């Protein structure tokens, strides 16, 4: 009995499930159909009602144009009436004609005539008679042809016309020229029409859900439920944009009041010979009203679906009884399996063929399920880990389809690029393109990954805010089970921080090297100053011997030139520039840096140079090459500590690599090389240490005497030049460091035109405004310029220079201005002077490195900067060149 109750309870439960499922399916289908029908109905209603609204708006615009045409024609007809066009008809008779016109169309606020001089001749109610109307648009533009003026405030008439309501009113103007029978202009006939007439004709409703609006050609609201004279584009920007593009149409848009309207629009084109004012008529309706039929259809279908669901649930209830009992046995077996007994075998079941087949299928499914569950759990766990790793990764991950269209990005990609998932999905990675790589770069990348290989490399990309950033990227193909490429995955690491640290490290190395040079530079400068002071003393002693004075002064000039060149080299070396490679003569660069390096080598150390005089062009960065040599010389000097006869040898020669050498060093791309070597007879390096000397932060020096980054920087810089570093060393014998750089075979760039001419160029009486805060230098330069034939006016700072130039700009041919001065610097003063005269000829002077102080690169790129100490010969050439170019 209990078993039967259980069975009946189970049968009822199955019936309930089948009935509920049948009803649910029916309801879900009904819901789907109802929403689909509503969507289709809404689309149909939108297009049908939209076209109807557009037609209504067109009808309104046409009605207004026709009404305005009547007033337009009426004014032209009235202008040729004999009582109007005849000068012999007295004003009172004309006024009666005008008043009859006004009474025939009660929207006329005023009808009147101004004479040929623009003076009010006659008007209804005697208004404006004798008033000067010559500046009114209708009076000036209506003299030659009929005129119609858009809605405007009633400035003068508002003060004199009756206005019981006290409301502000607006007028339209319609005018026509009045000519005597002989053609002579008698005046202009004008009718001012109350704008209230158009509003009444439009029947503008205050109903916020369905109403008519009218705007001017510029979008100002002329009639409608919104504030008068407001810009309708502020309330419905998309609708107004569409109305300006097409004359008639419709638009569905959410307006600024938060409601969505279906709006038809049409722009008037005039009627017959009436040109029209380009008014835009709009007819809108709240979508809650417009789409009410669609919602009604949806509700009806939903109600029908609920009824069918109820009917099908009853049918399902009875059908469930036919299969309940055999299903009970199957359910029992399923429960055993669900309890974890996947080895359970169900007894034979006598039932319909389908149910028996179901029982067999369940048995087969049990064994299959056991395997698949285990496999799926393992796969899901792996997939979960991979998904979480990609989501949490600090690198940007981008997945695209076979055509390169982005389908997925991880949060790190949004953080790095500034684009959200929604902004990037559907785009291609070209949205990040910075134009820093040439087309061949991207062609190679695409060819690599479409060929099924992985691409690795670095590039510059652009964030959403336009800022460029360096990145290291790998792109790999994704294949399906057939081995076909379906997608690509890109993993990108933002290298901005690493790049910044690299720049800081390189700059710190420069400063470390400069610190080594300070003692030597001070020694050389003291020698130069001693030479200058000695020559000054001898010059004063030889005051009666002009030839000897000239010799002494030339020696002083040579010493100052040497000092200036040393400062220029030191500042160029310390410059905090980004790496820029260009073609360089390696021999010239070596001679330049050796002059600076000598200052760091004590006089007790013998320096031997073996520099090949052959021109050796390389593609490189001068600052990095200087830093490489200084680091190697600095290391060599440290290695000589305690040696009795310390010696450093620096060499440069052309080197043709053999096949064996190229095979030994595969990173070299050409056998045509320049060979630099720095050798010392110091203590040498042991084999254990030799393998680690290029590791960052590895050093054998005492604390405080080195960072351990020197040779690591040298190694990285040589790699960036596609070169090779080779170190040979033996303990107690010394060390030789070899650098091999590939020669560059293209033509050398032409010599800088600024360096060609150095002889003095005389002037032709041009006037120079000389600006410098140093009185001694200012006086010396003034005398030097005057000796060349220039006229010179001086100023002590930028503010005084600006004042002088504003007063004497017509007489000043060129401004020569120092950059760093008190009160107002040269750059700011130059900007003010350029505002006075954009064609001004201007030259800067500075004792600083041009790259270090330039806050306004565009200004300093446009004008030349002359480095101090100024040499009169070079200054004469620069001034002559600037005056010629101007």
- Checking if the pLDDT of 766 tops 60, the result is yes
> From the CB of residue 27, how many other CB atoms can be counted at a distance below 10 Å?
18
Q: Do domains 501-742 and 753-885 have the same CATH topology?
A: no
The architecture in CATH of the region 501-742 reads: 2-Layer Sandwich (3.30)
Residue 647 has pLDDT above 70, yes or no: yes
Mean pLDDT, rounded, for 585-597: 83
DSSP state of 425: T
704 vs 373, more confident: 373
**pLDDT higher at 164 or 711:** 711
Q: Cβ of 443: how many Cβ atoms within 10 Å? A: 10
Q: Judge contact between 692 and 698, C-beta under 8 A.
A: yes
Residue 180 has pLDDT above 70, yes or no: yes
Under DSSP, the state recorded for 754 is G
Q: Hey, what long-range contacts does 870-875 have (CB within 8 A, 24 or more apart)?
A: 870/777, 870/781, 870/845, 871/561, 872/760, 872/784, 872/788, 873/758, 873/759, 873/760, 874/758, 875/781, 875/784, 875/785
Strand order in the sheet with 210-215: 221-223, 210-215, 280-286, 260-267, 248-254
Strand (E) or helix (H) holding 726:
strand 724-730
CATH class of this structure's domain 77-289? alpha beta
Question: Class of the 753-885 domain?
Answer: alpha beta
Q: What is the pLDDT of residue 658?
A: 92
Q: How far apart are CA 459 and CA 441, in angstroms?
A: 9
pTM of this prediction? 0.37
Question: Confidence class of residue 703 from pLDDT cuts 50, 70 and 90?
Answer: very low
> Is residue 557 within a helix (H) or strand (E), and if so which, with residue range?
helix 546-574
The answer to whether residues 735 and 729 touch, using CB atoms and an 8 Å cutoff, is yes
Average pLDDT over all residues of the chain? 79
**pLDDT confidence tier of residue 43, bands split at 50, 70 and 90:** confident
- Cite the beta strand spans of 347-443 per DSSP E: 396-401, 406-409
Of the ranges 151-165, 572-586, 714-728, the best mean pLDDT one: 714-728
- Residue 295 CA to its chain's centroid (Å): 46
Supply the pLDDT for residue 6.
46
What's the pLDDT score for residue 189?
A: 94
Q: Are 65 and 269 in contact (CB under 8 A)?
A: yes
Q: 3-state DSSP call for residue 178?
A: strand
pLDDT for position 315: 74
Question: 255-259, 519-523, 556-560, 667-671: lowest mean pLDDT where?
Answer: 519-523
CA distance linking residue 599 with residue 522, whole number of Å: 9
Q: Is the model's pLDDT at 809 over the cut of 80?
A: yes
The percent of residues in the chain predicted with pLDDT above 90, rounded, is 22
- Among 186, 188, 148, 194, which Cα is nearest to 170's? 194
**What fold does the segment set 393-494 form as a domain?**
Beta-Lactamase (3.30.450)
Residue 323 contacts residue 47 (beta carbons within 8 Å): no
pLDDT score recorded for residue 9? 44
Per-residue pLDDT at 241:
86
- What mean pLDDT do residues 739-766 have? 66
pLDDT tens for 211-262 read: 888 888 888 888 888 887 888 888 889 888 888 887 788 888 898 888 888 8
Our CA angle for 58, 60, 65, nearest 5°, is: 95
Kindly list the domain boundaries of the chain, sorted by start residue: 2-62+291-322, 77-289, 393-494, 501-742, 753-885
């Amino acid at each position: 009995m209990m078993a039967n109750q259980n069975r009946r309870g189970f049968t009822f439960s199955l019936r309930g499930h089948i009935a509920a499922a049948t009803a649910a399916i029916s309801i879900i289908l009904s819901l789907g159909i109802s929403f689909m029908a509503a969507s289709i109905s809404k689309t149909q209603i939108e297009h049908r009602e939209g076209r109807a609204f557009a037609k209504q708006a067109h009808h309104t615009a046409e009605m207004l144009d026709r009404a305005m045409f009547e007033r337009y024609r009426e004014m032209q007809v009235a202008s040729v009436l004999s009582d109007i066009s005849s000068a012999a008809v007295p004003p009172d008779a004309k006024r009666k004609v005008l008043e009859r016109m006004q009474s025939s169309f009660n929207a006329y606020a005023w009808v009147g005539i101004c004479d040929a001089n623009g003076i009010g001749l006659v008007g209804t109610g005697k208004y404006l008679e004798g008033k000067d109307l010559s500046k009114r648009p209708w009076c000036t533009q209506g003299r030659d042809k009929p005129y119609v003026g858009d809605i405007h405030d009633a400035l003068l008439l508002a003060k004199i016309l009756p206005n019981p309501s006290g409301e502000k009113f607006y007028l339209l103007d319609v005018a026509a020229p009045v000519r005597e029978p002989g053609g002579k202009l008698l005046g202009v006939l004008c009718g001012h029409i109350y704008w209230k007439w158009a509003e009444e004709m439009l029947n503008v409703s205050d109903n916020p859900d369905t109403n008519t609006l009218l705007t001017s050609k510029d979008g100002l609201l002329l009639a409608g439920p919104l504030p008068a004279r407001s810009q309708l584009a502020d309330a419905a920007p998309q609708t107004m944009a569409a109305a300006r593009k097409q004359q008639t149409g419709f638009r569905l848009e959410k307006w600024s009041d938060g409601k969505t309207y279906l709006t038809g629009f049409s722009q008037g084109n005039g009627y017959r010979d009436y040109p029209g004012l380009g008014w835009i008529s709009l007819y809108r309706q709240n979508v809650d009203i417009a789409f009410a039929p669609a919602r009604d259809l949806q509700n009806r279908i939903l109600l029908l679906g609920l009824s069918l669901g109820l009917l099908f649930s009853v049918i399902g209830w009875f059908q469930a009884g036919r299969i309940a009992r055999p299903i009970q046995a199957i359910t029992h077996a399923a429960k055993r399996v669900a309890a974890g007994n996947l080895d359970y075998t169900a007894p034979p079941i006598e039932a319909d063929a389908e149910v028996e087949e179901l029982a067999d299928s369940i048995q087969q499914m049990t064994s299959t399920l056991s395997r698949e569950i285990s496999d799926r759990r393992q796969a899901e766990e792996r997939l979960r880990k991979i998904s979480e790793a990609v989501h949490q990764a600090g690198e940007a991950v981008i997945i695209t389809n076979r055509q390169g269209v982005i389908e997925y990005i991880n949060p790190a990609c949004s953080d790095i690029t500034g684009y959200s998932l929604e902004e990037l999905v559907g785009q291609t990675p070209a949205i990040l393109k910075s134009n820093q790589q040439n087309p061949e770069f991207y062609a190679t990348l695409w060819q690599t990954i479409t060929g099924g290989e992985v691409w690795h490399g670095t590039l510059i990309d652009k964030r959403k805010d336009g800022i460029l950033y360096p990145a290291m990227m790998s792109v790999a193909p994704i294949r399906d089970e057939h081995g076909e490429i379906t997608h690509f995955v890109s993993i990108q690491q933002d290298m901005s921080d690493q790049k910044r640290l690299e720049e800081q490290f390189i700059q710190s190395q420069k400063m470390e090297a400069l610190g080594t040079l300070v003692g030597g530079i001070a020694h050389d400068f003291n020698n130069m100053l001693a030479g200058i002071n000695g020559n000054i003393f001898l010059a004063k002693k030889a005051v009666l011997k002009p030839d000897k004075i000239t010799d002494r002064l030339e020696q002083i000039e040579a010493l100052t030139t040497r000092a200036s060149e040393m400062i220029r080299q030191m500042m160029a070396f310390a410059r905090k520039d980004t790496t820029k490679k260009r073609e360089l003569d390696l021999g010239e660069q070596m001679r330049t840096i050796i002059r600076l390096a000598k200052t760091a080598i004590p006089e007790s150390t013998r320096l031997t140079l073996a520099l090949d005089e052959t021109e050796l062009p390389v593609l490189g960065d001068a600052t990095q090459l200087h830093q490489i040599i200084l680091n190697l010389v600095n290391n060599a000097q440290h290695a000589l500590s305690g040696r009795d006869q310390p010696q450093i040898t620096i060499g440069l020669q052309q080197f043709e690599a053999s096949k064996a050498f190229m095979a030994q060093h595969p990173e070299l791309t050409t056998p045509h090389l320049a060979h630099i070597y720095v050798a010392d007879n110091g203590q040498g390096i042991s084999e254990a240490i030799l393998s680690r000397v290029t590791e960052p932060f590895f050093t054998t020096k005492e604390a405080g005497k080195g960072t351990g980054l020197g040779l690591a920087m040298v190694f990285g810089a040589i790699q960036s030049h596609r070169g090779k570093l080779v170190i040979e060393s033996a303990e107690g014998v010394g060390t030789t460091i070899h650098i091999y750089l590939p020669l560059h075979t293209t033509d050398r760039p032409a010599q800088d035109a600024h360096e060609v001419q150095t002889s003095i160029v005389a002037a032709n009486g041009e006037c120079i405004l000389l600006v410098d805060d140093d009185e001694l230098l200012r006086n010396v330069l003034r005398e030097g310029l005057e000796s060349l034939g220039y006229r010179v006016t001086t100023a002590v700072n930028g503010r005084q220079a600006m004042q002088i130039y504003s007063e004497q700009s017509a007489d000043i041919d060129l401004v020569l201005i120092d950059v760093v001065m008190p009160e107002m610097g040269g750059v700011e003063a130059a900007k003010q002077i350029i505002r006075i005269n954009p064609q001004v000829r201007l030259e800067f002077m500075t004792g600083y490195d041009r790259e270090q102080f330039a806050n306004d690169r565009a200004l300093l790129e446009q004008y030349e900067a002359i480095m101090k100490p100024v040499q009169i010969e070079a200054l004469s050439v620069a001034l002559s060149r600037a005056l010629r170019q101007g």
